[in-house]
Structure 1
Amino acid sequence: MSETGYRDISAERSISTFISRVFVYMAGGLTITAGLAYWFGTTPELISLLIKEQGGLNMLGWIVMFAPLGLVFLMAGRVNKMSPTALTSTFVAYSAIMGISLSFIFLAYTQSTIFTTFLITAGTFGCMAILGYTTKTDLSKMGSILYMALFGIIIAMLVNFFMKSEMMDYIISLLGVAIFTGLTAYDMQKLKNMSHQVDADSADGAKMAIMGALNMYLNFVNLFLFLLRFFGGSRD
């Protein structure tokens, strides 16, 4: 085999290794999140640690709700200074706290609804990830539009927090599903393009795989939550 042939095989292996690591990290994070969400959500003694006796979140509950956002900013802001081990540990901590914060869905929805929605999310996510990986169409313009739409939907959610409009909530949920479905394909294509430029076995490659896993994890969780809001039947 020629030197070029060996080089091509080595490049393909590096790409495969990088993408595999992204999804191993992501799957690990989701497993931690799902396990802790179920444990806290179905154990009254644990969920009560986050709620006041008269209702509403206590101080620990608010910390749990906002801590994941802080960890995301920490990972994004210090990715170049953190070691792969430190970044992985932060991602694990983030996944764990996210699991605790998501435990509240077990108070609002039935377990069958949550499980069914999770399966639908997994199927949708998988299809869009495959589409993003295999398509020859450049999705970069779509990504810019989706991120602008995401910014708009965050503003709409803040407004509806005070308006409490069921129709607006329905529209927001529908748009949220569309946005994160599209972002899954966009981020998958971005990861594929990135894999051509990094050495999967290097420290930088490991850190980029973790950050890629974080992006895909966020797409999955947000798609799940918007789907749950869209057609999930509450306990009421």
Structure 2
Amino acid sequence: MEDNKFDHQYSNIIQLEEAGSSRTFISNVFMWMFVALGISGVFAYLFATNAELLGMIVNLTTGKLTGFGTVTIFAPLAFVLVMNFGLNRISYPVLVVLFLAYASLMGISLSFILLAYTSGSVFGVFVTAAAVFALMAIAGYTTNTDLTKFGSLMVMGLIGLVIASVVNMFLVSDELSKIISYVGVAVFVGLTAYKVQMLKRIGTGVEMGQAEGKKLALMGAMSLYITFINLFLSLLRIFGRRR
């Protein structure tokens, strides 16, 4: 009887430790995500409102992208690939630098949004995206339902979106563009809940004092950052007011 009581108490202690580890991990994930969003926001605003900085990415006479402007469009993808495939070989400080550089370049590329859409609609859609993202993040963190199969379905939807977007680059169809935007909202809303639940589970087995745990938190932040940005862009294409 005493052994059963001890086992029960020990089990409760283990569960509390895992819950605490998970909360610490998730807190670090969202901290880095907010840092990335803040950096991106600052760079987007600076390049959209300063003619000299804007001239670095767009030829103000012809309206065409400069060499640096082209780099800012494609470089973020290269950063994501380097960080993902080099995760085990890259030290944590270097990973932080790459993450911050990635957020900066994303901010510069997002400055075009402030030029294409009114500031009021951008702010309104951003607040909406943040509210939806927060709601789904809470749902993913608190639900007891296993979202693995649901997440796999969302990933398949994401692949479909990428293919449809590539096709539409050649078709240039407004109707297809609208469909992609609506489906994109559904996919990224679903991915938010799935990814947060996945990160919660990862956090239960992570020691945040170790470099490996810090790296995983940083990569988790990048994953959620990308999901949020895509949710925001999908909503902006639907509800944003162009200048």
Q: TM-score, normalised by structure 2?
A: 0.93
CA distance 1:136–1:12, shift in 2 (3 Å): closer
CA-CA distance at 1:5 after TM superposition:
5.2
Aligned counterparts of 1:133 and 1:24: Cα–Cα separation in 2: 16
User: What are the ranges of 5 or more consecutive residues in structure 2 without an aligned counterpart?
Assistant: 1-5
Aligned equivalent of 1:174: 182
Contact residue 15 and residue 196 of structure 1 kept, 8 A: yes
Contact residue 154 and residue 190 of structure 2 kept, 8 A: yes
Question: Is 1:205 the equivalent of 2:242?
Answer: no
User: Aligned to 2:102, which of 94, 101, 107?
Assistant: 94
Question: Is 1:188 the equivalent of 2:196?
Answer: yes
Question: Is 1:228 the equivalent of 2:236?
Answer: yes
CA distance 1:7–1:224, shift in 2 (3 Å): same
User: What are the ranges of 5 or more consecutive residues in structure 1 without an aligned counterpart?
Assistant: none
Among all aligned residue pairs of Structure 1 and Structure 2, give the percentage whose two residues are the same amino acid: 44
3-state SS in 2 of match to 1:93: helix
Amino acid in the other structure paired with 1:141: K
Aligned equivalent of 2:30: 23
Which is greater in Rg?
A: 2
Contact residue 22 and residue 201 of structure 2 kept, 8 A: no
Amino acid in the other structure paired with 1:167: E
Aligned counterparts of 2:162 and 2:176: Cα–Cα separation in 1: 13
Contact residue 21 and residue 205 of structure 2 kept, 8 A: no
Aligned counterparts of 2:208 and 2:108: Cα–Cα separation in 1: 32
Question: Is 1:33 the equivalent of 2:33?
Answer: no
Aligned equivalent of 1:134: 142
Name the Cα RMSD after superposition: 1.4
Q: How many residues align?
A: 235
Question: Is 1:67 the equivalent of 2:79?
Answer: no
CA distance 1:14–1:54, shift in 2 (3 Å): same
Aligned counterparts of 1:140 and 1:134: Cα–Cα separation in 2: 15
Q: TM-score, normalised by structure 1?
A: 0.95
